[in-house]
Amino acid sequence: MWDYTDKVKEHFLHPRNVGEMKDANAIGETGSLNCGDALKLYLKVNENERIIEASFMTFGCASAVASSSALTEIIKGMTLDEAAKLTNDDISDYLGGLPKAKMHCSVMGQSALKKAIANFRGVQILEKPGQIVCECFDVTDLEIIDAVRANGLETTDDVTDYLKAGGGCGQCLDRIEQVIASAKVKG
Amino acid sequence: MKIIYTDNNATTKTADEVIEEMMPYFGELYGNPSSMHTFGDRVGKKITQARKHVADLINADPEEIVFTSCGTESDNAAVHAAISAFPQKKHLITSTVEHPAIKNLFAHLAKEKGYKVTFVPVDRQGRLNTNVLYDSMSDDTALISLMWANNETGVIFPIEQVAKRANEQKILFHTDAVQATGKIEIDVKKTGVDMLSLSGHKIHAPKGIGVLYVKKGLKFSPLLIGGHQEGGRRGGTENTAFIIGLGKACQLAKENLGVMNTRVKELRDYLESQLLEKISGTSVNGELDNRLPNTLSIGFDAVEGESILLLLDRDGICASSGSACTSGSLDPSHVLMAMEVPFKSAHGTIRFSLSHYNTQDEMDAIVRNLVPTIEKLRAMSPFWKDGKMV
């Protein structure tokens, strides 16, 4: 059963700011149909770089919808600089917390926001090199290898502490172990 | 709120008749069936009767029935017996769509014990690729284990045909019939399977009781070594009340097999046709004319299963999704992945599994909920626009 807070349930059942925004001047998209969740974030930003409107379209589970809804509520009225500092924990906290296995839903919100800001400013966000190992926190194998080598990390717990990777659903822990081993061998 | 229970492949309501049958054996009739005294033997006689009811349901002989604690134990015991009987053989065959009780056990044997495992694929309709299966059979094969019917899609495997080939090549054949039992005819003599697992709580007995059928004359090493119970095939004092309950449940299942394949099937077909008619972008998973009569696996394009389940749950409707989303994984289930169901509908797949307790009104209530539920979720999906996928 779902270990959701009342606030998550409420935002899922009655999401705020749903729908396509025709006159948006910043759009951020993340996730895909194949991944199992996706978010398209629309912003209207004024001449002072303040977000005056935000809306979303989301495909995903209840916590993905709730995280999207929460995100749009949080950022309305913020300047882009303020919004850029938003973390996935802020989204999760706003909802009274998310189950560990669902933290990636808040990460998705943060990632769509980053992309929307970059879109407004005309900046290109380069795709991270390497392969995603931890879906929950969007961490690649190359990032893990770098962290292992730079900090002498030994265990999956070390990696989780440094990069959060593996700290969500835990599905990737075996894979992280393999990456740690490969980092040591080739290092 | 009234519960509309359409998740019978997950578990079933314990029948009132079953509970009634069990009650005395929690209280005044507490004797040990192995005891010499008449008091214990009263329970022993009742267990003999239960064993006969179980045997009757699958056309076995009573002495071929071994009571266990659950379907998973039955599967483990069967595999243990097979690999103990042929310690020199290091090859196992199963399918890509098995229940975790077999899937993970075989993966464990491959990883820890050096077994080579052939996972036979299925096609887009969930049908077993028997060519791959037959080609992989060899003198080194210790066991073939295949589910009789799939828990998610209800697709029925050609058990009789495969068992015949296995017998010809003297390879042991086990079937996990946990989902098939009580829904379609199971005849161990006609099919010639060596071992078969079934589970009580899928056929209106309580949780915590299972059966392993072991063909007469088969060399068998018990998983639980202990006393002489179950003919030395499973140590441990009998779970008397539950065995007696399962006996009753098997008797009822046999009586209800006709209803299952007429009235329950009609309800399933009605629900299916209503949903296909009233909701666009909807598709049914699995081979349509070769499914369990109670199971409907149906995918809704561009929406996600957990969200659907939560909105169904608001009206007390119990069903399952085709994803492992609740466990944190974002992938669709291994069954839908093995069938290569497109992602667009795999993520939005819901399984309804009916029983004879369901009614026409309940099917209508599900349709009344789902039409606006899917509409609401599609209205916020970035992959759905103007009535179709984008």
Q: Give tens-digit pLDDT for A67-88.
A: 999 999 999 999 999 999 999 8
Check residue B124 and give its pLDDT. Answer: 97
Q: Which residue of B has its CA nearest to A136?
A: B328
Of A12, A35, A39, the CB nearest to B330: A35
Separation between Cα atoms, residue A121 and residue A139, nearest integer Å: 25
B349 touches chain A (CB under 8 A): no
Whose CA is closest to B126, among B95, B162, B165?
B95
B111, B303, B304, best to mutate vs chain A, most A CBs in 10 Å: B304
The per-residue pLDDT for B324 is: 55
Q: Percent of chain B having pLDDT more than 70?
A: 98
The answer to whether residue B90 scores a pLDDT higher than 70 is: yes
- Kindly determine whether residue B307 and residue A60, on different chains, have CB atoms separated by under 8 Å: yes
| Mean pLDDT to the nearest integer, B53-60 | 98
Q: Does A132 contact chain B (CB < 8 Å)? A: no
Q: Looking at residue A171, what is its pLDDT?
A: 82
A100, B328: Cβ pair inside 8 Å? yes
| Closest CB from A12, A36, A57 relative to B323 | A36
pLDDT the model gives residue A31: 85
**Number of C-beta neighbours around residue B100 at 10 A:** 11
Please list the residue range(s) of chain B that carry CATH number 3.90.1150.10: 4-10+256-389
- Strand runs labelled E in B200-294: 210-214, 282-284
Query: Which member of B328, B332, B380 has the closest CB to residue A57?
Result: B380
ipTM for the complex shown? 0.88
Q: How far is CA A127 from CA A130, A144, B50, in A?
A: 9, 16, 64
Q: What's the order of all strands across the beta sheet hosting A37-45? A: A26-32, A37-45, A51-59
Q: Tell me, what's the pLDDT at B9?
A: 96
* A103, A90 contact by CB (below 8 A): no
pLDDT score recorded for residue A8: 97
Residues of chain A with pLDDT > 70, as a percent, come to 98
- CATH for B4-10+256-389, among 2.60.40.1930, 3.10.20.600, 3.30.950.10, 3.90.1150.10? 3.90.1150.10
Nearest CA in chain B to A104: B328
B307 to A62: CB separation less than 8 angstroms, yes or no: yes
Q: How far is A75 from chain B (nearest CA, A)?
A: 19
Chain A and chain B share a number of CB contacts under 8 A equal to: 77
* CB B69 within 8 Å of CB B234: no
- pLDDT attached to residue B329: 60
What is the number of other CB atoms lying within 10 angstroms of the CB of residue A43? 27
Please check the confidence at residue B373 and state whether its pLDDT lies above 90.
yes
Strands B295-300 and B282-284, sheet pairing? antiparallel
pLDDT in tens, B328-351: 566 788 999 999 999 999 999 999
∠ Cα B137 B142 B147 (to 5°): 75
Taking the C-alpha atoms of residue B5 and residue B366, their distance in angstroms, rounded to an integer, is 10
Residue B343, chain A, CB below 8 Å: the answer is yes
Q: Is B51 on the interface with A (CB under 8 A)?
A: no
Read off the DSSP letter of residue B330.
-
pLDDT score of A3:
86
Burial class (CB in 10 A: 0-12, 13-18, 19+), B384: buried
Q: Which of B5-9, B284-288, B340-344 is predicted least confidently?
A: B340-344
Is a pLDDT exceeding 90 seen at residue A128? no
Beta bridge partners of A91: none
Does A181 score more than 60 pLDDT?
A: yes
Residue in the block written with tokens 């039992």: B181
Task: Give the pLDDT band of residue B43 (cuts 50, 70, 90).
Answer: very high
pLDDT at residue number B315? 95
Instruction: Give me the mean pLDDT over the A3-31 stretch.
Output: 95
C-beta of residue B339 within 8 angstroms of C-beta of residue B122? yes
**Contact assignment for B328 to A33 by CB distance below 8 Å:** no
What does pLDDT average to over chain B? 96
Burial code (b: 16+ CB inside 10 Å, e: under 16) for B114-126 equals ebebbbbbbeeeb
Per-residue pLDDT, A37: 87
pLDDT level of residue B327 (50, 70, 90 thresholds): low
**Residue pair B18/B204 in contact by the 8 Å Cβ criterion:** yes
Candidates 3.40.190.10, 3.40.50.460, 3.30.70.1150, 3.40.640.10; correct CATH number of B16-252? Answer: 3.40.640.10
List, by residue number, the catalytic residues of A. 35, 105
Lowest mean pLDDT, pick from A106-120, B79-93, B355-369:
A106-120
Residue B324 vs residue B246, higher pLDDT: B246
CATH 3.40.640.10 residue ranges of chain B are 16-252
The yes-or-no verdict on residue A165 having pLDDT over 90 is no
Q: Do A33 and B323 touch (CB under 8 A)?
A: no
Q: Check residue A39 and give its pLDDT.
A: 95
Per the listing, tokens 């989303």 go with B325
Residue B49: how many CB atoms within 10 A of its CB? 14
Pairing of strands B116-120, B91-95: parallel
Nearest residue in B to A166, CA atom:
B328
**Is pLDDT of A25 > 90?**
yes
Average pLDDT over residues B68-91: 97
Interface test with A, best of B7, B300, B306, B315 (most A CBs within 10 A): B306
Nearest-Cα residue of chain A relative to residue B349:
A36
pLDDT higher than threshold 90 for residue A126: no
Lowest mean pLDDT among A164-178, B194-208, B299-313, B366-380: A164-178
Q: Is B308 at the interface with chain A, CB within 8 A?
A: no
Q: How confident is the model at residue A151 (pLDDT cuts 50, 70, 90)?
A: confident
> Mind telling me how many Å the CA of B357 is from chain A's nearest CA?
24
Does B380 touch chain A if contact means CB atoms closer than 8 Å? yes
Stronger pLDDT, A49 or A104, i.e. the higher one: A49
Q: Please state, in angstroms and rounded to a whole number, the distance separating the CA atoms of residues B304 and B127.
A: 25
Measure CB to CB from residue B343 to each of A33, A64, A136 and give the nearest one. A33
Q: How far apart are CA B166 and CA A48, in angstroms?
A: 76
> Does the pLDDT of residue B184 top 90, yes or no?
yes
E strand spans, chain A: 26-32, 37-45, 51-59, 132-134, 139-140
Contact B310 A62 (CB under 8 A): yes
Closest-approach residue (CA) in chain A for B306: A61
CA nearest to B174, candidates B244, B121, B105: B105
**A40 at interface of B, judged by CB pairs closer than 8 A:** yes
Closest Cα of chain A to B122: distance in Å? 21
Q: What is the pLDDT of residues B122-159, one digit of tens each?
A: 999 999 999 999 999 999 999 999 999 999 999 999 99
d(CA A150, CA B299): 47
Contact yes or no for B382 and A135 at CB 8 A: no
* Average confidence (pLDDT) over B177-190: 98
Q: Give the C-alpha distances (Å, rounded to integers) separating B232 from A170, B24, B61, B69, B176.
A: 41, 27, 17, 16, 22
Query: What average pLDDT does the segment B217-222 reach?
Result: 95
Q: Do A102 and B328 touch (CB under 8 A)?
A: yes
At A107 the pLDDT is: 86
Q: Across residues B353-369, what is the average pLDDT?
A: 98
Q: Is pLDDT larger for residue B145 or for residue A147?
A: B145
Cross-chain Cβ contact A65/B332 below 8 Å: no
A75 within 8 A of A117, measured Cβ to Cβ:
no
Inform me whether the pLDDT recorded for A135 exceeds 90.
no
- Is the Cβ of B335 closer than 8 Å to some Cβ of chain A? no
pLDDT at res. A77: 97
Per-residue pLDDT at A186: 59
Residues of B in contact with A36 (CB under 8 A): 304, 323, 325, 330-332, 343, 347
Residue B307 touches partner A, C-beta closer than 8 Å:
yes
Q: Which residues of B touch A9 (CB under 8 A)?
A: 310
